Amino acid sequence: MNEAESDELKQSVEQFAWWNFEHHPDTDSYSYVGIEETIEYLDSIVRTQGPFDGIFGFSQGGICAAHLLARQQQGDARFRFSFGIFSAAALMSDARYAIPLDSPLPFPSLHIMGEQDALISVEKSRALASQFANPVLLVHPGGHYIPTQKEPRDAWKAFLALQSAAVRA
């Protein structure tokens, strides 16, 4: 595939984001645009297709998933998750949506991060994990993806088995 074909393929792939960003050149900062619509959309999914025991998110979806757990902890009754799994996820960077916590989030959590992730560094993933009372961390040698090798799969299975047992108890 030549460069022109590669560019054409990239442009033809539909991309999805939970929210967009607005750049503020005066402060060289970004704010989120559309997050409230995302939360309303997820609320409708939970109401019509739930309940769900846990929540999983990758990248921006992981940021959103953690935000929903924080909202739940602050009393948002629309969400009733028991645990969270976050892959290549970080804290919200828009201060308007930061939820101050009096204590770490009590939900069991699994945090998957890649040592070579150029988008969400291990440090940013660890910062998110630090918001949870007893986070389980899985660091893989790769980049910005969900690892599928045996060791990560075994870690997923073990975490989900614990959560399944807790939900059924």
Give me the active site residues, please.
59, 117, 144
Amino acid at 146: I
* Tokens linked to 20: 């967009």
- Other C-beta atoms lying within 10 Å of the C-beta of residue 54: 20
- Other C-beta atoms lying within 10 Å of the C-beta of residue 45: 11
Return the ∠ at Cα 122 (arms to 120 and 125), rounded to 5°: 70
Residues 92 and 63 sit within 8 Å (Cβ to Cβ):
yes
* Tokens linked to 30: 């970004």
Q: What gap in Å lies between CA 132 and CA 110, rounded to an integer? A: 10
Q: Are strands 54-58 and 20-24 parallel, antiparallel or unpaired?
A: unpaired
